[in-house]
Amino acid sequence: MAGKRGATPATYSPSLTTAKGKKKPPIFTDDANWVRSDGRHFHQCRPAFLRIATVNSASGSAYAEFGNTKVIVSVFGPRESKKAMMYSDVGRLNCNVSYTTFATPSRGQGSDNKDFSSMLHKALEGAIILESFPKTTVDVFALVLESGGSDLPVIISCASLALADAGIMLYDLVAAVSVSCLGKNLVIDPISEEEVYQEGSFMISCMPSRNEVTQLTVTGEWSTPKISEAMDLCLDACSKLGNIMRSCLKEPLSAPEE
Amino acid sequence: MAAASGSNLSSEMEVDAFRRLFPLRFHERHLLQSIRPDGRTLGKARDTTIALGAVTSANGSALTKIGCTTMLAAIKLEVMTPTAESPDEGCIAIDFHMPPICSPIVRPGRPAEAAPVLAKQLSDTITSSGVIDLKELSLVGGKAAWMAYLDIYCLDADGSLFDAALLSAVAAFSHLRIPVVSLNDEGRIVLVSEDNGGGKLEKEPVNKEKRKLKLDSLPFSLTCILHKNYILADPTAEEESIMETLVTVVLDSSSQLVSLYKPGGPVPAHTSAIQDCVALTRQRLKELQKILNGAISDMEVD
Amino acid sequence: MVGLSVGEKHFIKGGIEQNLRTDGRKRYTYRPIYVETAVIPQANGSARVKFGATEVIASVKAELGKPSPSYPDKGKVLIHVDCSPTAEPAFEGRGGEELSSELSVALQRCLLGGKSGAGAGIDLSSLSIVEGKICWDLYIEGLVVSSDGNLLDALAAAIKASLSNTALPKVQVSSAASDEQPEVDLSDEEFLQFDTCGIPAIVTLTKVGKHYILDATSEEESQMSSAVSVSVNRQGRICGLTKRGGAGLNPSVIHDMISVAKHLSEQVINKLDSEIAAAEAREEDVP
């Protein structure tokens, strides 16, 4: 088809048939007994699957899967900074997040999240001991294989695991979790469908052992008690996620040697 | 390799230094013993695995690994209006991506040179092999047909990229499930949700039977390195960087030659060497078919 | 960025500790705020805001557009910020791009709420004209003319002032068949004033040493460990929050910073409102 590709016609993905006048059933209700579409409680995270050293050609790498959110992160370096860069007595961190074309339900939507690269940078830079690799750059590249909601927190957690795998000196691992505000309820680790309906979102990335927050973003309208509630919820989830990440790093060591 | 047999640290260091300083001599001394640094014999390919359905947001997908080389292929189907020249044919658009995660030489904003070359090769191979009948992608003659976007992502680049990419593409096509759709009043194609199958449908689906593509004569490939008199099957990235003459043979299921690439290189290949490459590919074809069939039957059991 | 000697750094930090900053301010005092509205005649609304030596311009351009299919009853607002090379030598070429995108994202987060537009400072439903057919698209452009710290607060203030200056022409919709795009008539005489009472103010607290300061200059910003920008509306509800700077913060410190920001926001909003009112009054005096 290569020859015909120049004249590629406009395409669209077929949408689901919905009878006119009938709306899709709402994803949430204010009902206290409401159960999330994947059967979780409001304050229950998706099961996390983490694996390190997935990319052989990188200095360090990690793969994370939270439900349908699948992310792979490679770390290269510390290596020579770009020629144009000026001398710096601390190391540089360079982050890039990209999406596969099939990551989102309709093709090529991933470019909506251009700010993720700088968000990832800000979440990680506080945790890296940049003084330990002067004049050089550490590159953190993330690829979202499939976007299933809460993409950024998964990218951040996965990237910190990849940095640890690469042997980059860190103050602590960075774990990130987000909550969505849906009606009166706070739901943790939202999936894409829930994110579409959210009235507000709250994301925290922190270093659990040091009890320090490296990045915090809030959108939507929040009252102070709700912020506190969300923060407590996230910090608790972050420390749990931190433990899972730690055990994932230890896994290859505890496995019997062949 | 006398040095390699030594077990103390200092001699191990020496082997490593030797490998970095004199890569060609290091490899040639292995080849003399008919063995390769990773312990393979010359004609042996690395372990290969295929996992189907790795991406749930796509209509068909596959993750393949040949040694460390990892490829993720996914197909997304969209609807298009067929061209006037071929009103009852769909279309396939193939793209190959090398994101910065796959290799230290690729950086954001500076794509790998190999990517567009491989994309073209893959596109040519899949089109010319006739593995997919484009008529099968037609929905409503002259009105609507499927546009299959096949995107292949290299997640880890460690040599023989074409073989891994082609394998993942073929596997993704065998995993492809076409959704049931119908034509609505406005002339647009809409999905028919599967769970209300018992209920009354406003429109009859236009493609009730065509849920899977009929795939005949799947293409499989093997890349070999020609170096002096040696032929090394399925090279790693290190081997590819040291010995630069590559031959890629693509055969279909009935062992017919689909295509053959020998993009220059310092070693002019003897015809007999090419024949040897084809023979190696024929063996590899059987292995790959078995692995793919295994993956398909695994999936059907689930 | 700012080349400071060890002594100067020490002086800045010491001053903040003793609640007397280098320019004579206390920790929670703003620099003099200056607001001027209607600075760009072509735009639907515009304003220039100065916080001391920091100067920004914001303009609003309104166009009729089609609402996105997912939110048919809402208009669209796009915020973009540019950093002029005149503001700082580092912004030359592509140098300002990173900061520009950072500021744009922070403003979008603080003013536009979540993806659905719920909880946004700018009421997107008020921009709807015919549901699913026509709405107002507001293009808000911010320009940093001179940079001396606290850009985000200044930009948010400028956007608020420019929106307050914005008048949207009255739209007459001639009723058409439900499937067709209705025809519209823009009035030349009747304008609707944009309602800005819900628009939050952004209060950035910059942490230097143990203390936080308000309205930091770029010299002070070079000494910061981190900064938290909180956007608070008149009801005292938080509409957005972003953190800058590399260092981690203890959660209790964040709580404290939020409550301080909330406390200060009231006075900031009042001050800004009176400045905007004064600027608009001045403008009316000029024939």
| Range A212-232 average pLDDT | 89
For chains A and C, having 3+ Cβ pairs within 8 Å is answered yes
Task: Give the minimum alpha-carbon distance from C24 to chain A in angstroms, rounded to a whole number.
Answer: 32
Measured between CA atoms, the residue of chain A closest to residue C120 is A220
Alpha helices in B160-254, H assignment, sequence order? 161-175, 237-242
Confidence of residue C179 (pLDDT cuts 50, 70, 90): low
Which residue in the set C119, C258, C262 is minimally distant from A221, CB to CB?
C119
Whether A182 has its CB under 8 Å from any CB of chain B: the answer is no
Whether A111 has its CB under 8 Å from any CB of chain B: the answer is no
Q: How many CA atoms lie within 13 A of C36 on its CB side?
A: 10
Among A173, A186, A213, A236, the residue to mutate for chain C (most C Cβ within 10 A): A213
- Chain C residues within 8 A (CB-CB) of chain A? 70, 98, 101-102, 105, 109, 112-116, 118-120, 226, 228, 233, 237-244, 246-251, 254-255, 258-259, 262
Helical axes A224-254 vs A151-165, angle rounded to 10°: 40
Measured between CA atoms, the residue of chain B closest to residue A54 is B156
Residue C39 lies inside a defined structural domain of this protein: yes
| Range A203-230 average pLDDT | 89
Cα(C236)–Cα(C268) distance, integer angstroms:
12
Query: C-alpha dihedral over A107, A111, A112, A118, to 10 degrees?
Result: 150
Per-residue CA distances from B61 to B58, B73, B157, B260, C172 (Å): 7, 5, 19, 26, 52
pLDDT tens per residue, range B125-180 = 998 888 888 888 888 878 888 889 999 999 999 989 999 999 999 999 999 988 88
pLDDT tens per residue, range A156-198 = 999 999 999 999 999 999 999 999 988 788 899 999 888 887 8
Cα(A249)–Cα(A245) distance, integer angstroms:
6
pLDDT tens per residue, range B215-267 = 878 999 999 999 888 899 999 999 998 888 899 999 998 888 988 988 877 77
Residue C53 lies inside a defined structural domain of this protein: yes
Write down the pLDDT at residue A5.
38
Task: State the average pLDDT for chain A.
Answer: 83
- Angle among Cα B213, B217, B222 to the nearest 5 degrees reads 120
Which residue in the set C102, C238, C243 is minimally distant from A222, CB to CB?
C238
Residue C136 lies inside a defined structural domain of this protein: yes
pLDDT tens per residue, range C236-253 = 888 888 888 778 888 899
**E strand spans, chain A:** 11-12, 15-16, 48-52, 60-66, 69-80, 92-99, 136-146, 175-182, 185-188, 200-207, 212-222
Task: Give the minimum alpha-carbon distance from A249 to chain B in angstroms, rounded to a whole number.
Answer: 20
pLDDT at residue C158 above 90?
A: yes
Task: Give the minimum alpha-carbon distance from B283 to chain A in angstroms, rounded to a whole number.
Answer: 27
- Angle among Cα B210, B214, B220 to the nearest 5 degrees reads 145
Residue C213 lies inside a defined structural domain of this protein: yes
Write down the pLDDT at residue B73.
95
Write down the pLDDT at residue B268.
79
pLDDT at residue A21 above 50?
A: no
Q: What HEC string does A178-205 produce?
A: EEEEECCEEEECCCHHHHHHCCEEEEEE
Confidence of residue B208 (pLDDT cuts 50, 70, 90): low
Cα(B136)–Cα(C215) distance, integer angstroms:
66
Q: Compute how many other C-beta atoms are within 10 angstroms of the C-beta atom of residue B233.
A: 24
pLDDT at residue A2 above 50?
A: no
* Residue numbers of the domain that contains C70: 6-285
For chains B and A, having 3+ Cβ pairs within 8 Å is answered yes
Confidence of residue C206 (pLDDT cuts 50, 70, 90): very high
pLDDT tens per residue, range B66-111 = 999 999 999 998 888 888 888 888 889 999 999 999 988 888 877 7
Cβ contact, residue pair A12, B188, below 8 Å: yes
Write down the pLDDT at residue A29.
57
Write down the pLDDT at residue C128.
81
Decide which of A63 and C193 is more confident: A63
Cβ contact, residue pair C250, A211, below 8 Å: yes
Cα(A11)–Cα(B213) distance, integer angstroms:
20
Whether A104 has its CB under 8 Å from any CB of chain B: the answer is yes
pLDDT at residue A24 above 50?
A: no
Helix (H/G/I), strand (E/B), else coil: B134 = helix
Could you tell me what percent of chain A has a pLDDT over 70?
83
pLDDT at residue C224 above 60?
A: yes
Find chain A residues with C-beta within 8 A of B68's C-beta: 56-57
- Chain A residues within 8 A (CB-CB) of chain C? 114-115, 118, 122, 125-127, 171, 195-201, 206-207, 210-224, 227-228, 231, 235
Find chain A residues with C-beta within 8 A of B188's C-beta: 12, 14
Cβ contact, residue pair C255, A196, below 8 Å: no
pLDDT tens per residue, range C98-141 = 888 888 888 888 887 666 556 666 777 778 888 778 888 889 99
Confidence of residue C287 (pLDDT cuts 50, 70, 90): low
Write down the pLDDT at residue B10.
53
Confidence of residue C225 (pLDDT cuts 50, 70, 90): confident
Which residue in the set C109, C119, C226 is minimally distant from A217, CB to CB?
C109
Task: Give the minimum alpha-carbon distance from B37 to chain A in angstroms, rounded to a whole number.
Answer: 16
Write down the pLDDT at residue B229.
84
pLDDT tens per residue, range A69-94 = 999 999 998 988 877 677 778 888 99
Write down the pLDDT at residue B200.
46
Say which CATH topology domain A39-252 has: Ribosomal Protein S5; domain 2 (3.30.230)
Cβ contact, residue pair A14, B188, below 8 Å: yes
Whether A140 has its CB under 8 Å from any CB of chain B: the answer is no
Cβ contact, residue pair B104, A142, below 8 Å: no
For chains B and C, having 3+ Cβ pairs within 8 Å is answered no
Among A4, A5, A11, the residue to mutate for chain B (most B Cβ within 10 A): A11
Cβ contact, residue pair A70, B102, below 8 Å: no
**Cα A140 from chain centroid (whole Å):** 13
Phi, psi for residue B163 in degrees, rounded to 5: -60, -45
Decide which of C4 and A248 is more confident: A248
* The two structure tokens encoding residue C13: 């930090």
pLDDT at residue A20 above 60?
A: no
Supply the pTM of this predicted model: 0.87
Phi, psi for residue C220 in degrees, rounded to 5: -70, -35
Task: Give the minimum alpha-carbon distance from A95 to chain B in angstroms, rounded to a whole number.
Answer: 9
Least confident of A24-33, A191-200, A205-214, B187-196: A24-33
Per-residue CA distances from B156 to B105, B241, B291, C44, C240 (Å): 12, 16, 20, 52, 39
Confidence of residue C178 (pLDDT cuts 50, 70, 90): low
Could you tell me what percent of chain B has a pLDDT over 70?
89
Residue C237 lies inside a defined structural domain of this protein: yes
Residue C1 lies inside a defined structural domain of this protein: no
Cα(B213)–Cα(B137) distance, integer angstroms:
8
Cβ contact, residue pair A217, C116, below 8 Å: no
Least confident of A21-30, A160-169, A205-214, B175-184: A21-30
Cα(C36)–Cα(C46) distance, integer angstroms:
9
Which residue in the set A127, A211, A220 is minimally distant from C118, CB to CB?
A220
| Range B16-35 average pLDDT | 89
pLDDT tens per residue, range C29-83 = 889 999 998 898 888 889 999 999 999 999 999 888 888 777 778 888 889 999 8
Q: Which residues pair with A216 in a beta bridge?
A: A204
Write down the pLDDT at residue B47.
94
Write down the pLDDT at residue C114.
62
Write down the pLDDT at residue A7.
38
Structural domains of chain C, count = 1
Among A97, A219, A223, the residue to mutate for chain C (most C Cβ within 10 A): A219
Count residue pairs from A and B with Cβ separation < 8 A.
Answer: 146
Least confident of A13-17, A28-32, B223-227, C166-170: A28-32
Find chain C residues with C-beta within 8 A of A223's C-beta: 237-238
pLDDT at residue A6 above 80?
A: no
Residue C31 lies inside a defined structural domain of this protein: yes
Which residue in the set A115, A211, A224 is minimally distant from C105, CB to CB?
A115
Count how many residues are written for chain A: 258
Burial (Cβ within 10 Å: 0-12, 13-18, ≥19) of residue C42: exposed
Please list, residue by residue across B136-168, b when 16 or more beta carbons sit within 10 angstroms of its beta carbon and e when fewer do. bbbbbeeebbbbbbbbbbbbbbbbbbbbbbbbb
Could you tell me what percent of chain C has a pLDDT over 70?
93
CATH code of C177's domain: 3.30.230.70
Cα(C113)–Cα(C71) distance, integer angstroms:
14
Least confident of A169-178, C157-166, C179-188: C179-188
Write down the pLDDT at residue B227.
86
Against chain B, the chains showing at least 3 CB pairs within 8 Å are A
Least confident of A144-148, B177-181, C26-30: B177-181
Q: Compute how many other C-beta atoms are within 10 angstroms of the C-beta atom of residue A205.
A: 30
Contacts of A149 (CB under 8 A, 6+ apart): A67, A68, A69, A189, A190, A191, A192, A193, A194, A195
Which residue in the set A19, A96, A107 is minimally distant from B149, CB to CB?
A107
Whether A144 has its CB under 8 Å from any CB of chain B: the answer is no
Structural domains of chain B sorted by starting position, each given as residue range(s) with its CATH number in brackets: 38-177+212-301 (3.30.230.70)
